[in-house]
Amino acid sequence: MSGAESPLAVVTGASSGIGAAFAEALAARGMDLIVIARRGERLDALAGRLMRDTAVSVRVIVADLLDGTALHDVEAELRQARRIDLLVNCAGFGTYGPFTEAAPERIKNELILDLIVPVALTRAALPGMLSRWMGAILNVSSMAGFIPIPQHATYCAAKAGLTRFTEALHGELAGTGVLVQALCPGPVPTEFFAISGYDIEDVPSYMLQSARDCVDSALQALERRSVVHIPHTFIRIFVRILVLLPLAVRVRVLGGGPEWLNGKKAPSLAAAPED
């Protein structure tokens, strides 16, 4: 489906991982796309493939959302768009390691891309949705936002903030026809791990979920109007149990290499990909 009245989705971080999987899934559902990321060659390849394989149109915006001018320009694009039916805020990255060993600039950039940018883009897209009494915002958060994972302090903070933001916005938008969701995956095998510095081989296979399964689950949950969605059954149960335990126990389980992790160090439970 294409044309002036076709539904339109905007996906940030679309050049790889979960963002690319969202673009593919939404194109398969007949939505035109605006895909945004830093890596233009990858975006062009994605857009070409999607337009060849489906009847949708795909517009590419190459932008580093950590650059203030680029972010301002993307905000303006969203405010001026003919319509946005779905905004998927997926761009982000994580850092594995002691907080005091992370470069201060990397810490700031992580907080900006993982929290400030999705809030800013939501602010840009939301008025148009409200004027039409329809639309949806899907923020790719992480199950890391629920629990204190040592060596991932900045990421946990950013994702906790993004999930709380989404929940609060849900309360504000009641009765407007606009839906919001915080998608909170567990480990998803993407470039995130290489960028964060964590070895994907240290994550038990039963905790992993493919990017496409994660995305399909998220879109189904959005149709059910689920506000906070953990797409992996094991991770969902794990989080629900873990949040009931005392803080000291949670930290030990997540950072102390418990036996149920086969003696390996605690896995990265963050899932948003670098764009």
CATH of the domain at 209: 3.40.50.720
Contact (CB, 8 A) for 87 and 49: no
**Predicted pLDDT of residue 193:** 59
Binned at pLDDT 50, 70 and 90, residue 235 comes out as very high
CB count within 10 Å of CB 133 equals: 10
Phi first, then psi: give them for residue 58, nearest 5 degrees: -130, 120
**Which residues neighbour 196 within 8 Å (Cβ) at sequence distance 6 or greater?**
93, 94, 95, 96, 155, 268, 270
Give the catalytic positions in this structure: 155
The residue type at 186: G
Number of domains in the chain: 1
Query: Does 175 map to a domain?
Result: yes
Q: What angle separates helix 247-255 from helix 233-242, to the nearest 10 degrees?
A: 140
**Predicted pLDDT of residue 192:** 63
User: Whole domain around residue 187: which residue ranges?
Assistant: 8-261
Phi first, then psi: give them for residue 35, nearest 5 degrees: -110, 135
Query: Does 214 map to a domain?
Result: yes
Binned at pLDDT 50, 70 and 90, residue 267 comes out as very low
Query: Does 140 map to a domain?
Result: yes
Binned at pLDDT 50, 70 and 90, residue 214 comes out as very high
HSE-CB for 240 with a 13 A CA cutoff = 9
First and final C-alpha spacing in the chain: 27
Query: Does 273 map to a domain?
Result: no
Query: Does 2 map to a domain?
Result: no
Contact (CB, 8 A) for 12 and 33: no
In the sheet that 32-37 helps form, which strands lie side by side, from edge to edge?
A: 58-62, 32-37, 8-12, 86-89, 135-140, 178-183, 228-229
List the beta bridge partners of residue 8.
32
**Predicted pLDDT of residue 138:** 98
**Predicted pLDDT of residue 194:** 60
pLDDT at 262 over 60: no
pLDDT at 274 over 60: no
pLDDT at 76 over 60: yes
pLDDT digits over 136-178, tens only? 999 999 999 999 888 899 999 999 999 999 999 999 999 999 9
The span from the CA of 145 to the CA of 155, in Å, is 8
Query: Does 274 map to a domain?
Result: no
Tell me if the pTM is above 0.75: yes
Query: Does 269 map to a domain?
Result: no
Closest CA to 211 of 116, 115, 112, 90: 90
Query: Does 216 map to a domain?
Result: yes
Contact (CB, 8 A) for 256 and 1: no
**Predicted pLDDT of residue 177:** 97
**Predicted pLDDT of residue 256:** 43
Structure-block tokens of residue 134: 């329809």
The H-assigned helical ranges of the chain are 17-28, 40-53, 68-80, 104-111, 117-132, 153-172, 192-196, 211-223, 233-242, 247-255
